[in-house]
Structure 1
Amino acid sequence: MEGPKAPRDPEKMRPYFYILKDKEIFGSKQEDGTGIQFVYESDGRLINSAQIAGNITDQEELALLENVEGFRKLVHSIGISVELDDPRESVEFVFQMYGKKDLYGGGTNLKTKLPGDGMERKIDLSDYTWTEDDDIPGQIKFIFQTPELLGKASVRLYLNDGYDAPKETAEEKIDIRSEEYREMIQRSLMNFGNTCRIQRVIEKARDGKEVTLAYIGGSITQGAGAIPIHTKCYAYQSCQLFQKRFAAQDNVRLIKAGVGGTPSELGMIRFDRDVLRGEEQPDLVVIEFAVNDEGDETKGDCYESLVRKVLNLPWKPAVVLLFSVFANDWNLQERLKPVGYCYDLPMVSIRDAVSPQFQMPKGQGRVLTKNQFFYDMFHPNNMGHTIMADCLQYLFEQCDLRNQCGGETLERQMKAEERLKECMSEPPAIGKSFETVRLLDRKDRYRGAEIDEGGFTAVDRELQSVEMDAELTPVPQFPYNWMYDGTNSDKNYFEMTITCRSLLLVFKDSGEIYTGKAEISVDGGYCMTADPHINNWLHCNAVILFQEEESKKHIVRITIPEEDRNKQFTILGFGYVQ
């Protein structure tokens, strides 16, 4: 009996590099009963993935990843492997190219179905007929037939003739008990600050009283990159560490209020709704916007306004400033840390912790690689989220040690509050223009505003949704909105007469072709054009319409231009300062 014969022309082993290497994936449940994990590769993410996971430094090859034309020139085939707890389960892999005209519907989809046994399957790019609308590599989707399964995935790109890739290098196991790991965590403590409020929270937890820890920020606080997002994110892990170390019983509650792609310009507007929720009184609030605030129009005024808003709450919660980091070692802590120093707040820098050791040679102080910390160029993976939680816990434990050594007397508490009160009465580090900002939408009205909805009579249900607290089910953002749905072209306006000194508009961004622009005027003069396609993906966008010293009456009119009257535009809400 003869065994199977090798093919006559076996494919040669092509050079390759990883864009995903042993990354955790999780099938978040969809309405159709399947599960899905998105891995976004647009906006420079694919290039960064090649640099971090594939060690690619060749600038020509990296440049080819910017668009579909270059991608096809560089890449011969794609190798994908998925390992699930149950290898009998299957996953569909889709690499979606975005279109020039139709972002989500115009590009080619590279697909294959593979079992969860860890074996690699390949997609040959020459097997596809590519569309004329192909623009850029967009997103990877892992579609699970059974939702809420955990797994690991690797994706590598095999290269066409004439291109090369560096040899794959093995990564050392991360030793979280090592002295190097402890030193890395200790570097995160940028400013110890006035810790009396944190010490009170710790004592309250020890006494068995209910303690609430709140975390507000962008997508990292939402949990992006953590698999699964609700229990592996840094906020959940931080809350659990606090519970384990300080609580007398199960008396520590979590409020998680992170919204992807949004700065403190939006965070200050939604703080009351997403954190306080009408009746909540969080004992400690962690504020994380250090990688989201580049687009903040006020360059820090909104951030400081949010910090002051929290510090001024009558029950005196503790405030911690957390500075996360991107894969290019960038954040805005240099801009924002003067706010922390101004009020002598504890500040924790993830950049200070991890970035220096990324540059260290293996065996000479390096704890982990960027591939072991980051899920993509913007977000940490499970290990990254764990490190963030450990950095926060180090702060809390050092506060506890200081209290045990010095003892927190009533006199010390009073002096600490007196110092903070003095700081709050002095000029701000950057600004406090929006300290009293409030949300106005269909639900939360304002007596000083009269609204003529015009053609904005519909309610948009296709909204950015995020996982709040420890829940896995996403919650729609700004559900009490005003939408122009394209059917009331004879009333293509929304008008509001409002008495206030500052006003922000929150509108819906979208990559869908059926959304259009809106022109905004204030008191009859042109203010701006709100274009959902500038950012071109589904999220909430806050912009300042006017900012003045004194409160007075203004007329704000939002009009759909003639060319977009058959399209949609959604006003999610407003932020106003009386």
Structure 2
Amino acid sequence: MLDKQIAGFVQPDGKGIQFLYLDGRIESHARIVGNITDERILGLLKTAKGFRELVDSIGVVVEITEGDSEAIDFVLQMYGKGEAYSGTKIRQSIPTDGMERIIRLADYEWSEADETPGQIRFEFPHAGEQAIVSVKLYLRDGFDVPEDREDENVNLESADYGKLLARSLLHMGNPARLQKAIDRARRGETVTIAFIGGSITQGAGAIPIHTECYAYKTFQGFCRLAGKGTEENVHYIKAGVGGTPSELGMLRYERDVLRGGSVEPDIVVVEFAVNDEGDETKGECYDSLVRKILSAGNSPAVILLFAVFSDDWNLQERLEPVGMAYDLPMVSIKDAVTEQFYARPDAGRVFSKRQFFYDCFHPTSLGHSVMADCILNLFRAADTMQRMADMLRLDEIEPPLGGEFETVRMIDRESAEKDIHIDCGSFFHRDEELQAVEMDCNLSPVKEFPYNWMHRADAGNETPFSMEITCSALLLIYKDSGSDAVGRAEVLVDGEKVFTADPHVNGWIHCNAAICFRGWKNKRYHVEVRMAPGDEEKEFTILGFGYVG
């Protein structure tokens, strides 16, 4: 980390924590921040044993920028075999005066159970405090790395930045619905702009996450463009959930965006281009979500946003046909920024990768500003065009990637579906330890899927969860976890096992959607969820279901 903004995000005890995850990502951090290309060094960083062979000491610099804490705790957590947090934990109080403090690895006892560098944490005494930090690894003799390079000042008023924004406009499409929303906002009518996606939409990497994220900055820009000088007539919905693809997004759209039917968004920005590798339908869920949004009675505008990872990867090529089929506006951050990363500062580079990326997946506050500017460039372009008619006839367009889930509905413990009968059996507890995200412009995290069914080790019986439902497709939403106390569960339909859910695949507290069956005859089925053999005395949480029928 080099001169990186951090903030203490609120914890249940009132303190604040900023995480920097290293497990599976430390190599990318080294490439981006340190310009490391030596494969030997990059390989050693991946394991706890290699890390200790390579690193002599750690230099930490903290300068408080908002708050009055005189020191914050720096924590390096090694992940252990089995339970992640069983590894060595180095904790050091670091004064916030901007002076470097050195932590020598030889001063600590290391566990033989250490497997990989897991995470760095900065723990603030009070939530909401902010700081600028650097974390440097000083290597042992015999390892050579490039000299540190200084980044150029970023000029967002330059001609090169204008060219970058122009490249981001992948496809203008038919902007009629967007133009209608702009005109309504200018007249002072109520307009709602909504954002749905993964952790980038949640705001990861932005400091602070709720006001520096691309979604909020886009909302502010729309208010300046079309609002009445205030934000009173323009409303904002942010529904990003880290680590989740459109397979989950299509299920939670009614709850997280439409808020159970109380909200009708006029503009919806969809951002799943870096999350949908986990979509087992390879695009059909994305296509179905887009169709679901477009089919709303108030005819909302849909903007497809294609974010990018630090290795220049996204799924734009897979998902772009959806935008072309429905003639939708599309904005590509990949097209905007990747080309200039490899140019010289005097030949088109506006900013470097380490200025744009907070880590290998998420943008910095600067990166979020660039993303917002790319979307606002589309808004301005649409606004200057002649007003067009909405020509979309959704029922006449064949879904390019498939639309089986266009009408999918979600149910959870609070749903009151008269034709669905549920007996929770031994899954009668409620899980309170859930993935939580910052919704809308709030800083306090909101728990995802609080109305769940949980099987605990002390359930006292092994009665399966059972459900009678009429449908042609069924998805299970369940909680992932890295805990050894959590076990696998099996899904049976009419007595036949169709799916085994393993919460350890992702290894962290996370919402996961998986297809149990699809394309079946639309009829009544008896569905059971029961603990897998050998895991009867472990925990499992059903967060909800999605069904088509």
Shorter-chain-normalised TM-score: which range? Answer: over 0.9
What's the counterpart of residue 135 of structure 2?
155
Partner of 1:133: 113
How far 1:90 sits from its partner (Å)? 1.1
Percent of aligned pairs with the same amino acid = 53
Q: Is the Cα contact below 8 Å between 1:27 and 1:149 reproduced in 2?
A: yes
Q: 1:222 aligns with which of 202, 211, 215?
A: 202
**Greater displacement, 482-491 / 268-277:** 482-491
Partner secondary structure for residue 53 of structure 1 = helix
1:265 aligns with 2:247: yes
The superposition leaves residues 202-253 of structure 1 with CA deviations (integer Å, 9 ceiling, x where unpaired) of 1111111121100000000000000100000000000001101221132211
Q: Is 2:23 the partner of 1:42? A: yes
Letter aligned with residue 444 of structure 1:
S
Residue number among 368, 392, 397 corresponding to 1:420 in the alignment: 392
Distance 1:384 1:424 in 2: 38
- Say whether the 8 Å CA contact 1:87–1:116 is kept in structure 2: no
Q: Secondary structure at the match of 2:343?
A: coil
Q: 2:448 aligns with which of 477, 492, 496?
A: 477
When residues 492 and 22 of structure 1 are mapped into structure 2, their CA distance, relative to the original with a 3 A threshold, is farther
The equivalent of 1:370 in structure 2 is: 353
The answer on whether the counterparts of 1:80 and 1:121 sit within 8 Å (CA) in structure 2 is yes
Determine whether 1:443 maps to 2:391: no
SS at match of 1:327: coil
Which residues in structure 2 correspond to 1:22-171 (within 5 Å)?
Answer: 22-43=3-24, 45-85=25-65, 89-104=70-85, 106-171=86-151
Write the distance in 1 (CA, Å) between the matches of 2:396 and 2:419.
28
Q: 1:362 deviation in Å?
A: 2.4
**How far 1:162 sits from its partner (Å)?**
1.1
So what's the TM-score if we normalise by structure 1? Answer: 0.93
Tell me which residue corresponds to 1:512. 483
2:222 aligned residue: 242
Aligned-residue RMSD, C-alpha: 1.2
SS in 1 for 2:392: helix
Offset of 1:549 from its aligned partner?
A: 4.9
Deviations 1:274-318 (A, max 9, x none): 000121011100000000001111111100100000000000110
Q: Read off the aligned partner of 1:83 and give its amino acid letter.
A: E
Q: Which structure has the larger Rg over C-alpha atoms?
A: 1
Could you tell me how far apart the structure 2 residues matched to 1:448 and 1:122 are?
Answer: 64
SS of residue in 2 equivalent to 1:226: coil
Query: Residue 521 of structure 1 aligns to which amino acid in structure 2?
Result: L
- What's the counterpart of residue 312 of structure 1? 295
| Aligned residue pairs, count | 545
**8 Å Cα contact 1:328-1:377 kept in structure 2:** yes
Alpha-carbon distance in 1 for matches of 2:119, 2:61: 17
Aligned mate of 1:455, from 426, 433, 441: 426
Q: CA deviation at 1:489?
A: 4.6
Match of 1:496, SS?
Answer: strand
Cα distance, 1:566 vs. partner?
2.1
Contact 2:325 / 2:397 at 8 angstroms: preserved in 1? no
Q: Cα offset for 1:488?
A: 2.1
Contact 2:462 2:536 in 1 (8 A): no
Residue 565 (structure 1) shift:
2.1
Corresponding letter in the other structure for 1:337 = E
Deviates more, 1:61-70 or 1:513-522: 513-522
- Aligned partner of 1:12 in structure 2 is none
Equivalent residue, structure 2, for 1:303: 286
Cα separation, 1, equivalents of 2:532 and 2:473: 25
Whole-angstrom distance in 2 between the partners of 1:210 and 1:427: 33
- 2-structure distance, mates of 1:256, 1:87: 30
CA distance in 1, matches of 2:509, 2:14: 22
2:169 maps to a residue whose letter is L
Q: How far did residue 492 of structure 1 move?
A: 4.6
Give the counterpart letter for 1:29 in structure 2: V
Partners of 1:393 and 1:294 lie apart in 2 by 27
1:36 is paired with a residue whose SS is strand
Inter-partner Cα distance in structure 1 for 2:46 and 2:468: 46
Distance in 2, matches of 1:227 and 1:358, equals: 23
Q: How many angstroms does 1:24 deviate by?
A: 0.6
C-alpha distance in 1 between matches for 2:397 and 2:322: 12
The amino acid that maps onto 2:331 is V
Partner of 1:16: none
Counterpart Cα distance in 1 of 2:168 and 2:256: 28
Aligned to 1:287: 270
CA contact (8 A) 1:466 1:477 kept: yes
Matched, 1:208 2:205: no
User: 1:6 maps to which residue?
Assistant: none
Instruction: Determine if contact 1:21/1:154 at 8 Å carries over to the other structure.
Output: yes
Where structure 2 has 5 or more consecutive residues not aligned to the other structure, the ranges are: none
Q: 1:88 to 1:458 in 2, by over 3 A?
A: closer
C-alpha contact (below 8 Å) 2:477/2:542 kept by paired residues: yes
Aligned 8 A contact 1:111 1:123 in 2: no
Whole-Å separation in 2 of the counterparts to 1:352 and 1:223: 21
TM superposition shift of 1:446? 2.4
| Residue number in structure 2 paired with 1:321 | 304
Amino acid at match of 2:280: E
Name structure 1 gaps, 5 residues minimum: 1-19
State how far apart, in whole Å, the 2-side matches of 1:160 and 1:527 are. 53
Q: Secondary structure at the match of 1:491?
A: coil
Distance in 2 of aligned mates of 1:147 and 1:197: 41
- Could you say if the C-alpha distance between residues 88 and 284 of structure 1 is closer, same or farther in structure 2, counting changes exceeding 3 Å? closer
Q: 2:502: which partner in 1?
A: 531
Contact (CA 8 Å) 2:69, 2:125: kept in 1 or not?
no
| SS across alignment from 1:214 | strand
Distance 2:68 2:44 in 1: 35
SS in 2 for 1:198: helix
Classify the secondary structure of the residue corresponding to 1:550.
coil
Q: Distance in 2 between matches of 1:87 and 1:458?
A: 42
Provide the C-alpha distance between the structure 2 equivalents of 1:354 and 1:576, rounded to a whole number of angstroms: 39
SS across alignment from 2:321: helix
Structure 2: how far apart are the matches of 1:392 and 1:424? 28
